[in-house]
């Protein structure tokens, strides 16, 4: 796991926090404990790893915590812990973006497996974010005309049509296209299109 793969435990019950801290530490996972959702939100401006939270807490409960994390944008994976009677709340939490829920009392290995899956999800998401950022930097290096050619290529237009649209010759389009492929480090047109879509370019 990455060194940034921290498990944030949010629960108002001290005994639960301590028990989960021991379990996670014994499995070699870094853990941070938070006595309430508001304490977590105040302390964690940017979260890496995943969050394990009780669904029922005084003040901000697990559902409201999920909503606030979504409002911040790009929330980390959240696992919700729930009592048997709170399964409808757990389902509501899933609809708010929780990746999993675990009914108490739960088996240690079931809990650890859920946490590992959430951390892997977080790791993949971070890798995708980094890849998209790298592609956006390449797009930013394009000249205005190269960017226009990129947009036309991603729209599926042939060189001849691009030349007509931009008022330039077919040969000039080929030169710009070659420049775009080089700057974007794309080996094929399909790769170029995937890059542009990954970067979230608007058509």
**98 found inside a domain:** yes
Verify that 120 and 187 share a domain, yes or no: no
**147 found inside a domain:** yes
pLDDT band at 102 (very low <50, low <70, confident <90, very high): confident
pTM as predicted: 0.63
Verify that 121 and 145 share a domain, yes or no: no
pLDDT tens digits, 131-169: 778 888 899 999 999 999 999 988 888 899 999 999 999
Rounded mean pLDDT of 103-123? Answer: 88
3-state SS, one letter per residue, for the chain: CCCCCCEEEECCCHHHHHHHHHHHHHCCCCEEEECCHHHHHHHCCCCCCEEEEECCCCCCCHHHHHHHHHHHCCCCCEEEEECHHHHHHHHHHHHCCCCEEEECCCCHHHHHHHHHHHHHHHHHHHHHHHHHHHHHHHHHCCCHHHHHHHHHHHCCCCHHHHHHHHCCCHHHHHHHHHHHHHHHCCCCHHHHHHHHHHCCCCC
Domain residues for the domain of 77 are 7-127
**153 found inside a domain:** yes
Q: Would you say residue 2 has pLDDT above 50?
A: no
């Amino acid at each position: 796991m990455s060194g940034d793969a921290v498990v944030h435990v949010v629960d108002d019950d001290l005994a639960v926090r301590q028990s989960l801290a021991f379990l996670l530490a014994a499995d070699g996972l870094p853990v941070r404990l938070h006595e309430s959702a508001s304490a977590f939100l105040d302390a964690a401006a940017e979260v890496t790893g995943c969050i394990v939270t009780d669904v029922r807490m005084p003040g901000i409960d697990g559902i409201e915590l999920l909503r606030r994390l979504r409002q911040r944008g790009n929330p980390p994976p959240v696992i919700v812990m729930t009592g048997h009677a709170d399964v409808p709340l757990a389902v509501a939490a899933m609809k708010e973006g929780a990746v999993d829920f675990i009914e108490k009392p739960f088996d240690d290995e079931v809990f650890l497996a859920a946490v590992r899956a959430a951390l892997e999800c977080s790791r993949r998401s971070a890798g995708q974010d980094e890849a998209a950022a790298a592609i956006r930097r390449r797009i930013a290096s394009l000249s205005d005309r190269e960017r226009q050619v990129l947009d036309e290529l991603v729209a599926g237009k042939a060189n001849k049509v691009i030349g007509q649209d931009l008022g330039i010759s077919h040969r000039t389009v080929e030169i710009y296209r070659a420049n775009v492929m080089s700057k974007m480090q794309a080996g094929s047109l399909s790769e170029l299109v995937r890059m542009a879509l990954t970067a979230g370019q608007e058509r």
